[in-house]
A and B are shown apart, each in its own frame.
Chain A
Amino acid sequence: MPLDYKIAESTLANGLRVIVSEDHSVPNVTVDLWVNVGSRHEVEGRTGFAHLFEHLMFQGSANVASGEHFSALMAAGGRLNATTWFDRTNYFETVPRGAMDLALWMEADRHGHLLDALNQENLDNQRDVVKEEKRQRYDNMPYGNALIDIYAAVFPKGHPYHHATIGSMADLDAASVPDVQDFFRAHYGPNNTVLALVGDLTPEEGFTAAQRYFGGLPATASARREPVEPLPPLPEPVRDEHLEDVPSDHLYIAFRLPVDDTPEFFASSLAMDAIGGLTTSRLCQRLVRREQSATSVSAHAMGFVDGVSLGFIMIDVAEGLSADAVEAAACEELVRFAEQGPTPVEMESAMAQTERSWLSSLASQEERADHICHFATLQGDAGYINTFLDRFGQVTPDQVQQVAATWLTPQSRAVVAYLKQDGATL
């Protein structure tokens, strides 16, 4: 279905791409900056650094005190945060229109002049905070490290996606003030950043404000490297088993997928839905409903830009059932799907759910800004939000089958298994 969200784009002389999407339905503006640096750019011995750096962006800059970014914008009615991922780092706030200039001024100050305020104390404090984030989300949780294990099993050592964005405790400990300075100089600068302004403003107002606050920043970021060589599917199965004190056996069956923003990746995403993502997916029907050998099944396709993407199926094995038998059944379904391809109903369902979830994700200014920045930063086209569904809709059942036969076979799977200790399986 055709979408017509307004998109206007301009590039400042220093390389900052500015995209304005005018929408007066709410008297707010979302200010969203994507920097083309993520954990894929980290070097060995410094994993977790892009994310630690993102925390330091809240600890003050030349004209902003530590913590003031949060306190000043929240008191003006702002909701804000930042996130780091394999491919990129983003900083965002949604503010009343009258606070947009303050938000831009504060963003320009930290994106241009962070190092004026950087000190050992800030680094030590946020290193501690990040280590608690890691413990809370990963180390102190059942199955908390499953995703980290999946990345390591699917991508070879040294590959940009082999290590997780959160990094390792040892590498976090090793991070120094000079590391922060080098990272800022190499990766941060208007020529490696996209700014989206979405909401209650005109393109002219947005471009003028961007020029006013960011126009004076020099183009300091170094050139991006080319994407690494594409990876083929795994040549043979990989297995990583953990015997742990977990409540039930979990299987994660993971695959390499084609690189993002290609018909092949869209097809692989539809295949993952049909195999394990929909509530009517083949694995849900067989394992959860009919055989009741699994309590739940889910499937995910994560699009990446560096030559390869990731897909995985998560199976929560039912109490007393054999994880091996469940895995064998899942492999049978993979083989069958690769032979048959999707049914018309599977195609219709996966397309319909993709359409609804895409429209839902465009419903708020924040998420719309996020999508705009995503595609502008990583794929180039800021107008993508209006055309994605049409491109996705062109994928044919044959393409889905072909992709499944190439990428989603038992032979090319990596299995990460978290199994209950004490042989609790009957």
Chain B
Amino acid sequence: MTIKESVIARPPVSPPEPWSFPDAQRTELANGLGVVSYDIPGQYVISVCLAVPMPLDREPRDREGVATIMARTLDEGTALHTAEEFAELLERKGIALGAGVNDGGLIVNLDVSKRHLSEALDLLSQAVREPAFPANEVSRHVKARLAEIDQERAVPAQRAAIEFIATYFDPDERASRPTAGDKPTVAVITPQDLVAFHAANVVPAGACVVVAGDLSDVDVVAEVEQALGSWSGTGAQTLEATEALRAPDAARVVFLDRPGSVQTEFYIGCRGPDHGVEGGWAPYQVLGFVVGGSPNARVDAVLREDKGFTYGIRSGFRPRRRGGMFLTSGSVRADSTVEALGLLLDILDKAREGFTAEETQAGVDFIGKTAPGRYATADTVAEEAASLSLEGLTTEFTTANLLALADVDAPALAGAYNRYVSGQWTVVIVGDASLYAEGVRALGRGEVTVVPA
């Protein structure tokens, strides 16, 4: 008997159990703060996310990065406590507190074991409402951001991303510059800037606090009311968001020269949709998987599994508050630079001809059937709800989007792809230009500019 005959027959897969995104309880406090909670039994660490809509273009042009520095210094001293005291209060209760900004606003997140939830909400409230922005802490965080900028520029993938937005977006757009600011505007940020920006923007009206985890025996609304009910203030009127414009000359190749690089980094993109796209978001999630979401997706089937040029290259549609991008990024062995770039752009362009029913179904199944696991923990649920709230959406969107997957077929995928992908690529390359820029030029994929990295 051979080994093959002794092996048990391949078992069939039975369809998954029905599943839906956890139910939300929603209410609004008198001060306009939304409270959303998700009771997820067995999740003993509670995740809290506070989302405050705060479009990045509210930053003064000469103080870009002020929103990020503000986020990073919220817990570095408050009306009642010094920075060191505050850090100790968090740490003694095992609270993890962090804050950051994206193009839609500020998100403060906090993880805490259930028994310390009340203390954690009180500390969150102090950080958000009464930050003191002490001068020495602000200058420390300004210096840390300046050092971080140097680090980002030294890492090829981050260097490529910075150059990509500068090339892709119109220079008048805030989106063309780093979210956390660049050196000239960060270096001059003062405590007064933070006080003013905080007062004008960090207000309860329109903000939303999300609490997710095992909430048995927890009165979430009462807890949040106790901590944040007396928070007051009105901020700037939020204007209807508009899509950041692409630069008129964005469809070109920028080669950042990094002599001696043993790999070459690619960052390639074109326009994409936001979550509100006509016809629905679901096809775009599937496209990300089919084009560049796994080792067997179109990109890595060739560049990794056939050629062995890369550890992995990923593609995906990245929504912004309005509009979005279709991005492909990853690194390849240096001496494969020219061939790999040609292959990669060919794969992306050829996808406009459409997708097979089989790969479409595989993508639909992956996105749909992995949802229960992707949203199984308190932190992933809270983050999903908070980030959607900055777009004016709730997790009803997540649920509807999962249901809409049932209607995604191969023609729908092709239609969605061709709606945005027209071959007008913005290409950023980080690598050794002296060896490979000429070859890239010879590909005839657009004007090539070489600049120092």
Enumerate chain A interface residues (CB-CB to B < 8 A): 23, 25-28, 58, 62-63, 66-67, 70-71, 74-79, 94, 96-99, 101-102, 105, 108-109, 112-113, 116, 124-133, 135-137, 139-142, 200, 212-213, 216, 246-248, 278-280, 285, 288-289, 292, 295-296, 316, 318-319, 345, 348-349, 351-357, 359-360, 362-366
Contact = CB atoms under 8 A, between A and B. Distances in A.
Contact of B296 (A70, A77, A353): A70
Contacts of B374: 79
B7 A109 contact: yes
Given A105-B8, A318-B147, A365-B376, A62 B91 contact: no
A365 B373 contact: yes
A295 B144 contact: yes
A352 B151 CA distance: 32
A92 B111 CA distance: 27
A279 B87 contact: yes
A-B interface, 6 closest residue pairs, ranked by CB to CB distance from nearest: A77-B369, A128-B308, A352-B94, A98-B14, A96-B16, A247-B150
Contact of B42 (A25, A62, A288, A348): A25
Interface string B368-381: 11101110111100
B332 interface: yes
Interface of B: 3-4, 6-8, 10-17, 19, 40-45, 83-84, 87-88, 90-96, 111-113, 137, 140, 143-144, 146-148, 150-151, 153-156, 261-263, 294-296, 301, 304-311, 331-333, 361-362, 365-366, 368-370, 372-374, 376-379
Contacts of B377: 363-364
Interface of B is mostly: mixed
Contact of B10 (A105, A216, A247): A105
A67 B140 contact: no
Nearest to B93: A352
B417 to A, nearest CB: 20
Contacts of A247: 147, 150-151, 153-154
Contacts of A75: 361-362, 365-366
A295 B143 contact: yes
22 contacts: A25-B41, A28-B372, A63-B4, A66-B305, A67-B301, A67-B305, A70-B295, A74-B366, A77-B368, A79-B370, A96-B369, A98-B16, A132-B309, A247-B147, A285-B84, A318-B143, A318-B147, A345-B92, A349-B91, A349-B92, A351-B94, A356-B95
A359 B111 CA distance: 11
Contact of A356 (B94, B153, B331): B94
A71 B294 contact: yes
Given A67-B305, A247-B153, A248-B151, A101 B11 contact: yes
Given A76-B13, A77-B366, A132-B308, A345 B8 contact: no
B105 to A, nearest CB: 25
Nearest to A316: B147
Contacts of A363: 43-45, 377-379
Contacts of A364: 373, 376-377
A125 B147 CA distance: 39
A63 B2 CA distance: 12
B294 A97 contact: no
B88 A280 contact: yes
B54 to A, nearest CB: 25
Nearest to B261: A140
A140 B310 contact: no
